[in-house]
Chain A
Amino acid sequence: MNQIKFDEHECLHELKHFLPAQSPLKDFIHHNTLHAFQDEKFHEALAKATQIFGYKTYLSLDEYRQAYHQGRISQKALQNAMQLRDAEGKNIHLNTLVHQDFDANVHPRIGRLRSVWKDIYHMNMDKYTHPTIFRLLSNYLDQGISVHHFPVLKEGFIASLRQIEKNSYISMFKSERAKLLFERSDLDISYLLSLLVGDPKLYFNYLFDQQFAHPGWSGMVAVLEDQIDSLYDKRSIQLKEIIQLELLLELDALDSKFGHEWAPLNTRLPFGFDDLFKPVIRTKLSEVLAIWQEAYEWSYYETVLAGIKNNITRKQTESNGFKAFFCIDDRECSFRRHLETLDSSIDTYGTPGFFNVEFFFQPQDGKFHTKVCPAPVQPKYLIKETSIQSGVVKDPHMSKHTHSLISGFVISQTLGFWSALKLFFNIFKPGVSPATSYSFRHMDKLGQLSIEFDPSNPNQDGLQIGFTHKEMADRVEGLLKSTGIIQLNNTLVYAVGHGASSVNNTHYAGYDCGACSGRPGSVNARVISYMANHPAVRQILQQRGLHIADDVQFIGALHDTTRDEIEFYDIDKLSEAQSKEHQKHAELFKQALDNNAKERSRRFILTNTKNNATKVHERVKLRSVSLFEPRPELNHATNTLCIIGRRQLTKDLFLDRRAFLNSYDYRLDEDGRYLLGILNAAAPVCGGINLEYYFSRTDNYKLGAGTKLPHNVMGLIGVANGTDGDLRTGLPWQMVEVHEPMRLLCVVEQIPEKLLEILSRQSNTEAWFKKEWIHLVALNPINQKFYQYRDGAFIEYGTKGETPYLKDLMRYVESQSDNIEVSLIN
């Protein structure tokens, strides 16, 4: 990369690679914040990210040491971690780990070159350029806040700006040169850089410095350049354009401050300059932190593996109750447990919450369709809703009329008094309002869905409307077989999707189902149930060796994870007997949800957990609609496990809502096809969630969004602090403060050799484990031993730990607000 000649194309490409890749808020999807470093091994990548970009990638040394002294980091795990480093020839003593002082100050490479403006030219460049750039970008990309819109042209950002400049009595620029360049030249980046920086060797660093002074906006532009569809009101924009504008504004600032009496940056460099990406030499501190992190993680993993081992040796109960599918989401982990605790004959299954049906959804009166399946999937199907009820609800406070002169006058003298009262009521008696983002509003439960393919009306917008019977059968088969089912008799089967409800929550999309692209999973649950209930589909399935008896009925449902409410779909189609059964089940669901709410409330300090479950549940519901509640729920906080295997491994094992649970039966997966599919989805989805939480927690300022309390909504696409701030990416502090930054431990019930072979089929997925961004452990079902994956091989991992038995969980949670250790229950 140490080129003499400046390669603009390569530089832009690299910039896009390293800038935060976060979509607009409505499509908020979790991903690994340091995705750009993922081609390196975890600890090397983290050291590099720190030295180049100044990110804090571990907890502080003090935090690890404190955990060690409290016994949360075990001797065994620490010894293991040290030995592993020893094996790499990096010998670090215990004394160093526990006692030595380190200078932890970070002096990143980024920003150094451009700091010359301030240090030598005494010029606060960003003060001149940032407000204008942020404002223009925000106005240009705005999706519906401003009343007077930016005059947008199809040709793009710069073209639109030129249009304004050309047709205005006032110029955007102060100096003649910038004005002329903007009007007449093609704004060649190299040329502008030659004026500002002078030496082509420095261009690459300079542009990185410049764009990383506002990574939020630059990242947003980089994302929109490639995903134009993530805005309903589309905008054409390129990263290149904002660089051109920023360079020009810098030139303008210099010209207007110094006239022509300034020379480019390279003439006044006080020190020599290295390439930004020159190889990084790891510091001793980074080695020490890496050891601590490993020890920190394995201290916990050990208790999990011991827990599984001790659990599978316990007696298993017969299962003859109803069956229910849930999303693999860690928030469903406790819901399933409570159901099973109430009735141990129930079987629950975990599978990605789009239930293996991928499509776009268009609700009644909707002008667009939204994707309701994992983000990387490109569905070819469309499901349309027809309903007499429209999904729109209105709130006059959000009306733009309040911002204009005359109607503002009238409104403030009338509605204004009402506002104060409304505020009063929301504080003392919160309820669902139009401002609430409410999961049950995603779909009208009484509406009709176009699930059946109709040859007379086959397509819309290049998508096929509905599914054919064969296509339906494929999806049902995939769902059932991948979770270990080949036969269903005399039972009700629930497909429970999930969504979330909150108010005053800009990151609401991150609370919904990740497997449905940040939307509630209600439509998917209804669609898969319809398919599985279809006689024609069942016939096809029978031919494929999948038997679904006639007395089996699938029921779609949606679980609201914030409010712990459930809604069932199409229950009018049940037979009388089924309906009776369902009534009983619904009661059970309700009880389980009360208990679930009570368990969750242990982390909500201001809610009294000691009350009975129904009462606590009411409080929990109020949280979701309270304007003042920055934590309607804790979402994926504390997630750290992904267990792929039969429910027997984890049934009656208390995992404290920290696990993604994907049902899988190795016995039904001879060729490994299903496991590969599961891993291909689980690694990026669960790994992405886990790492986003990890990094947002270790550096909430640079990799997270900071506290959400001062956030200000910009153009409906992002949030910034105050009025003139850069967009904030990552997760707000309130979402991650209780999170312990640990990588995901993926436990797979499969023969290690076979797992190795399956992994080798897909190098992208394998890399997650090989590069250590996710830990992998195989549980060999033959000998019930654990095997740890390291550097492409499995090594036996022995665990002898005891697992405590928790007698009365519901009582115990009343007194615990921190993480509870892995325990046996029931």
Chain B
Amino acid sequence: MEQLLNIFIILPGLGLLLSLLIKNEREDLLSRVAFYTAGLSFISILSFSIYGFSHGFTPVNLKEVVLYSSKEYEFVIDFYFDKITATYLFTGAFLTFLITIYSRYYLHRENGYKRFFNTILFFFLGFNLTVLSGNFETLFIGWEILGISSFLLIAFYRDRYMPVRNAVKVFSVYRIGDVGILLAMWASHHLWHENITFSKLYNAELVHEHLSGHTWVGVFISLMILIAAAVKSAQLPFSSWLPRAMEGPTSSSAIFYGSLSVHFGVFLLLRTMPFWEQQTSVRILIGTLGVLTAIVATLIARVQSSMKSQIAYASISQIGIIFLEISLGLDNLALVHFVGNAGLRTYQLLVSPSAVSYLIREQFYHFEPRHWEMEDSFPRKLEYTLYWLSVKEFYLDVMVNKLIFDPLKVIGKKLGFLSLKNVFYYIIPLYAVGVIAMYNEASIPEYIHQKIPIVLSFIGLTFVLKSFTERKSPGFAWLLIVLNHLFVALAISFNEHFSFSEVAWYLSGVMVCGGLGYFILNTLKKQEPAYFDLNTYYGHVYEYPLLAVVFLLACLGLAGFPITPTFIGEDLIFSHIHENQFLLAFFNSLAYIMGGISIIRLYARVFLGPHIKTYHETPYKSS
């Protein structure tokens, strides 16, 4: 029976592939594929759970596929199944099943019917993969799929400005969480000297043994996990992305942001619980974060006058409580709370349009005029201050921007001198020098040699930041990301002896996708010279849908998405960064994350948003 675990990956994977092959006009077939995919998954998890209960519930670890293996490094797809997995799989399959039926009618004749079901199935695949993952590597693949499918669903109405802007925004915030996972992975490589499986974490002695003497590594890993969890579950200070994500069709908002996606932080904490359970400081931190979020989100929810944002904040506040429950060790309660909250919010979002007739009717029969003077027991000043803070969502958005994105933008903007020309004249020769130096490593003095990887990876990072703030040339912004990868490869080559085949793993995807993407950008530039920069959204997908799809694939490849070997290469690279090279790890992960954001920004600006040409209906920017 255990060997059948992969059915939860195969089913959605197959469904996704099939749905990609079906034409947009075949609504019936498309929705049927989704229906059967989710339905069969649901039946499977039902039988699994029944089997599990009747045979005494023992967690299962399954080493599925070894994707890469060398002397000191192994990349394994690993599955793990326990009550947490079961609960999540069950809830996920049940709600996805309902939503596919719901959407079959709801999206009838909607533009992008196929796109919708593709994305739902893609999401479902990512969901199952994450939930089933038995190690960080597998989890990260699922995590990345969730990020991209989220982006695609928020930007579902890609010809409007707000959904596209919000999709980029949410994607950017998600990437902050990804840094957390990346660094947690890196640190745990060094802590365990292997790609640790979650099942081993349940061996309390083993955990204890490794953590003693490495307390800071333990705390660091826990912190990184907490950041990732806080981002995905919209806890402080990241909460404001959740209401902004409600731009797609209501059914997708309900399943993604009402129920499944937003509970991934909870999942991550539950999954890694044995690791941080013994660290009291971490538990206090998680509990405090949860309580603070619960309070702040409730305050914000109370002043919302729109249905969806009200439900979003109410949900966040419940997740805050779930964080508290987890920190108290009440994992079963947390699971129950998760299922209840997911069901409630999904349903509330789905019936939210009914609020108009329902609440107006209620008002018609029960209205009592309000008297403002008697309204509160708080001192008025405090009340108004809180009111205003809540209206402004406690300035959380501003805070995240100021703390994280603005400094990066400032660096990027300082690099205004970089241009295609000087990159060509200076950077390429510099790179050549670097390569030659690498082959003559022996002659470089030790104290210089040590610094070289850091310098190189910093140069790579600056390219990414420049790319992130570039406003003129999409092609240049694209090349900068490619260059970054080259510099990273070189930097790591200095760090450790890195075999040619490893470099090839890493750069193969980058080069192919980089070349393809550059070619597409060039083609588009020739066709639309007047509408080609990064100053605004151009919406070229309206006239070039095919280019847009292929370019999206190139973007995913270049961003290290698990569709090319680069993804494994990324992980390999991280395994070559030493435990004490925090700066190098930091630069590298930052470049990885910002590179992803920059690429998505580029894709969005060139291909999405209101079409620049107005020979057809175009929406208001504010709509």
A residues in contact (CB < 8 Å) with B: 25-26, 54, 56, 60, 103-107, 126, 130, 132, 135-136, 138-139, 141-149, 151-153, 163-164, 167-170, 172, 213-216, 232-233, 365-368, 370, 390-392, 395, 397-398, 402-405, 408-409, 411-420, 422-424, 427, 434-437, 503-506, 508, 605-606, 626-631, 698-702, 706-716, 719-726, 728, 737
Cβ of B298 < 8 Å from any Cβ of A? yes
* B residues less than 8 Å from A149 (CB atoms): 370, 375
Task: Flag if A435 contacts B351 (CB, 8 Å).
Answer: yes
> B98-136 CB contact bits vs A (8 Å, 1 = yes)?
100111111111110000000000000000000000000
Q: Chain B nearest CB: distance from A396 CB in Å?
A: 10
Q: Chain B nearest CB: distance from A160 CB in Å?
A: 9
Cβ of B357 < 8 Å from any Cβ of A? yes
CA distance A714 to B243 in the complex (A): 13
Taking A105-B614, A436-B354, A506-B356 as given, write out 7 further A-B residue pairs in contact, using a Cβ cutoff of 8 Å, ordered by the A residue number.
A106-B614, A149-B370, A232-B367, A417-B339, A427-B101, A605-B109, A716-B356
Which of A106, A403, A435, A724 has most chain B Cβ within 10 Å?
A403
* A residues less than 8 Å from B108 (CB atoms): 605-606, 630-631
Partner of B343, one of A404, A420, A725: A420
Task: Flag if A629 contacts B105 (CB, 8 Å).
Answer: yes
Instruction: Decide if the interface of chain A is mainly helix, strand, loop or mixed.
Output: loop
* A residues less than 8 Å from B620 (CB atoms): 213-215, 701-702, 726
Q: Chain B nearest CB: distance from A741 CB in Å?
A: 13
CA distance A251 to B336 in the complex (A): 50
* A residues less than 8 Å from B318 (CB atoms): 408-409, 412
Interface stretch of the complex, out of B71-79, B307-315, B540-548: B307-315
CA distance A505 to B360 in the complex (A): 13
* A residues less than 8 Å from B313 (CB atoms): 403
Given A146-B304, A232-B364, A409-B318, answer yes or no on A151-B621 (Cβ-Cβ < 8 Å): no
Partner of B385, one of A169, A435, A503: A169
CA distance A302 to B380 in the complex (A): 70
Task: Write 6 A-B pairs (CB below 8 A) sorted by A numbering.
Answer: A213-B621, A216-B623, A414-B340, A427-B101, A707-B249, A709-B251
Partner of B619, one of A25, A508, A706: A706
Cβ of B85 < 8 Å from any Cβ of A? no
Task: Flag if B391 contacts A151 (CB, 8 Å).
Answer: no
CA distance A142 to B303 in the complex (A): 10
* B residues less than 8 Å from A417 (CB atoms): 339-340, 343
Task: Flag if A151 contacts B344 (CB, 8 Å).
Answer: no
Cβ of B178 < 8 Å from any Cβ of A? no
CA distance A722 to B309 in the complex (A): 9
Cβ of B51 < 8 Å from any Cβ of A? no
Task: Flag if A403 contacts B301 (CB, 8 Å).
Answer: yes
CA distance A139 to B264 in the complex (A): 31
CA distance A104 to B362 in the complex (A): 49
Nearest chain B residue, comparing its CB with the CB of A704: B617
Partner of A712, one of B246, B614, B619: B246
* A residues less than 8 Å from B615 (CB atoms): 60, 103-106
Query: Would you list which residues of chain B between 332 and 355 have a CB under 8 Å from chain A?
Result: 336-337, 339-348, 350-355
Partner of A403, one of B95, B310, B346, B355: B310
* A residues less than 8 Å from B364 (CB atoms): 232, 366-368, 370
* A residues less than 8 Å from B249 (CB atoms): 707, 709-710
CA distance A427 to B31 in the complex (A): 15
Interface stretch of the complex, out of B57-65, B158-166, B272-280, B441-449: B158-166
CA distance A138 to B307 in the complex (A): 11
Partner of A721, one of B160, B362, B363: B160
B residues in contact (CB < 8 Å) with A: 94-95, 98, 101-111, 156-157, 160, 162-163, 166, 243-244, 246-251, 253, 294-295, 298, 301-314, 317-318, 321, 336-337, 339-348, 350-367, 369-370, 372, 375, 380-382, 384-385, 387-392, 613-623
Task: Flag if A168 contacts B367 (CB, 8 Å).
Answer: no
Q: Chain B nearest CB: distance from A449 CB in Å?
A: 18
Nearest chain B residue, comparing its CB with the CB of A364: B365
Partner of A398, one of B251, B294, B359, B381: B359
Partner of B351, one of A370, A627, A631: A627
Nearest chain A residue, comparing its CB with the CB of B367: A367
Which of B103, B104, B308 has most chain A Cβ within 10 Å?
B308
Task: Flag if A713 contacts B343 (CB, 8 Å).
Answer: no
Given A152-B372, A391-B361, answer yes or no on A368-B303 (Cβ-Cβ < 8 Å): no
* A residues less than 8 Å from B345 (CB atoms): 412
Partner of B305, one of A26, A138, A152, A233: A138
* A residues less than 8 Å from B619 (CB atoms): 701-702, 706
Partner of A405, one of B295, B348, B384: B295
Given A54-B614, A153-B372, A726-B623, answer yes or no on A404-B302 (Cβ-Cβ < 8 Å): yes
Given A104-B615, A149-B370, A416-B340, answer yes or no on A142-B305 (Cβ-Cβ < 8 Å): yes
CA distance A449 to B340 in the complex (A): 46
Nearest chain A residue, comparing its CB with the CB of B333: A413
* A residues less than 8 Å from B617 (CB atoms): 56, 698-702
* B residues less than 8 Å from A136 (CB atoms): 391
* B residues less than 8 Å from A367 (CB atoms): 364-367
Given A723-B309, A737-B109, answer yes or no on A366-B365 (Cβ-Cβ < 8 Å): yes
Task: Flag if B339 contacts A711 (CB, 8 Å).
Answer: no
Task: Flag if A435 contacts B354 (CB, 8 Å).
Answer: yes
CA distance A434 to B365 in the complex (A): 14
Nearest chain B residue, comparing its CB with the CB of A392: B365
Task: Flag if A606 contacts B94 (CB, 8 Å).
Answer: no
Partner of B363, one of A232, A503, A700: A232
Closest 5 CB pairs of A and B: A416-B340, A420-B343, A419-B347, A416-B344, A104-B615
* B residues less than 8 Å from A60 (CB atoms): 615-616
Task: Flag if A628 contacts B102 (CB, 8 Å).
Answer: yes
Task: Flag if A712 contacts B352 (CB, 8 Å).
Answer: yes
CA distance A105 to B615 in the complex (A): 4
* B residues less than 8 Å from A408 (CB atoms): 298, 314, 317-318
CA distance A725 to B375 in the complex (A): 30
Task: Flag if B302 contacts A147 (CB, 8 Å).
Answer: yes
* B residues less than 8 Å from A725 (CB atoms): 162, 622-623
Task: Flag if B355 contacts A713 (CB, 8 Å).
Answer: yes
Task: Flag if B306 contacts A723 (CB, 8 Å).
Answer: yes
* A residues less than 8 Å from B387 (CB atoms): 148, 151, 164, 168
CA distance A628 to B365 in the complex (A): 28
* B residues less than 8 Å from A168 (CB atoms): 381, 384-385, 387-388
Given A412-B337, A723-B243, answer yes or no on A706-B372 (Cβ-Cβ < 8 Å): no
CA distance A707 to B163 in the complex (A): 14
CA distance A719 to B354 in the complex (A): 12
* B residues less than 8 Å from A366 (CB atoms): 364-365
Nearest chain A residue, comparing its CB with the CB of B94: A420
Task: Flag if B106 contacts A722 (CB, 8 Å).
Answer: no
CA distance A699 to B249 in the complex (A): 20
Task: Flag if A365 contacts B365 (CB, 8 Å).
Answer: yes
* B residues less than 8 Å from A626 (CB atoms): 105
Task: Flag if B350 contacts A423 (CB, 8 Å).
Answer: yes
CA distance A529 to B246 in the complex (A): 49
Given A423-B350, A716-B360, answer yes or no on A147-B367 (Cβ-Cβ < 8 Å): no
Task: Flag if B367 contacts A368 (CB, 8 Å).
Answer: yes
Task: Flag if A714 contacts B306 (CB, 8 Å).
Answer: yes
Nearest chain B residue, comparing its CB with the CB of A212: B620
Task: Flag if B339 contacts A712 (CB, 8 Å).
Answer: no
Which of B156, B298, B318, B357 has most chain A Cβ within 10 Å?
B357
Q: Chain A nearest CB: distance from B359 CB in Å?
A: 5
* A residues less than 8 Å from B109 (CB atoms): 605, 737
* A residues less than 8 Å from B246 (CB atoms): 710, 712, 722-723
Which of A170, A233, A700, A702 has most chain B Cβ within 10 Å?
A170
Nearest chain B residue, comparing its CB with the CB of A143: B363
* A residues less than 8 Å from B111 (CB atoms): 707
Task: Flag if B359 contacts A130 (CB, 8 Å).
Answer: no
Task: Flag if B391 contacts A135 (CB, 8 Å).
Answer: yes
Partner of B365, one of A390, A435, A723: A390
